[in-house]
Amino acid sequence: MAVDRHHIENFLYREARLMDENAYDDWLALWADEALYWVPANDDDIDPQRHVSIVYEDKTRLEDRIARLKSGAAYAQDPKSRLRRVIANIEIEEGDNGEVTVYSNFNLTELRRSQQRTFAGRTIHKLRPHDASFQITYKKVLLVNNDEVISNMTFLI
C-alpha cells in the first residue's frame, strides 16, 4: 500500500471517534497482536521497565482493559465520561514494507459528573498495512501534564 496522507488521517480520525464513542471492540480490532500501548508518567522517555507509567500494555492487557470497561464493574466510568478529541499537526514518516510512523497532537475534552477536564498531548502511532487499512503496532501518548497528578483516567486516551 502506497502512503496516502488522506488514508492515514482518516485512520487516526476513526480511532479517535471509536475512543470517544466507547466503541471498545471496534477500537480493539485496530490493534495488531504484538501491539504496545504506552502513556509515560513523569517524563516522556522513561524506562517503562523501571519506572511507573500511566499505561503500559500489550494486546492481552488491552483486551483485559476493554473487558473491564464493558463489564459494568468499572465504577470509575459509571456514568461513562463524555469525550471529544481533536487531532491535528499530523506528520508522517514512511518506513519499510509500507509501515508508517505518524506524529500528531491532540486536545481531548472529558465531561463526567458535571466536571469538565481537558487533556493535551502528542501521540506517536506506528501503523502497519492490514487489508485495506492499517493496524496499530505501537502507540505512545505524551501528555503535556504527565508529571502532574492525574486523577481517574479510566477512559481510552
Residue range 128-137, pLDDT digits in tens: 999 999 999 9
> Which of 16-20, 23-27, 45-49 is least confident?
45-49
pLDDT band at 113 (very low <50, low <70, confident <90, very high): confident
Question: Taking a C-beta distance cutoff of 8 angstroms, is the pair 43, 147 a contact?
Answer: yes
Sheet of 133-143, strands arranged across = 53-58, 31-40, 133-143, 115-130, 100-112, 82-94
| % the chain with pLDDT above 70 | 99
Q: What would the grid cell of residue 17 be?
A: 471517534
Alpha-carbon gap, residue 11 to 126, rounded angstroms: 12
- What confidence score (pLDDT) does residue 96 get? 92
Domains and CATH numbers, the chain: 5-143 (3.10.450.50)
Dihedral sign for Cα 111, 122, 92, 28, please.
negative
Q: What is the pTM of this model?
A: 0.92
**Whole-number pLDDT of residue 2:** 58
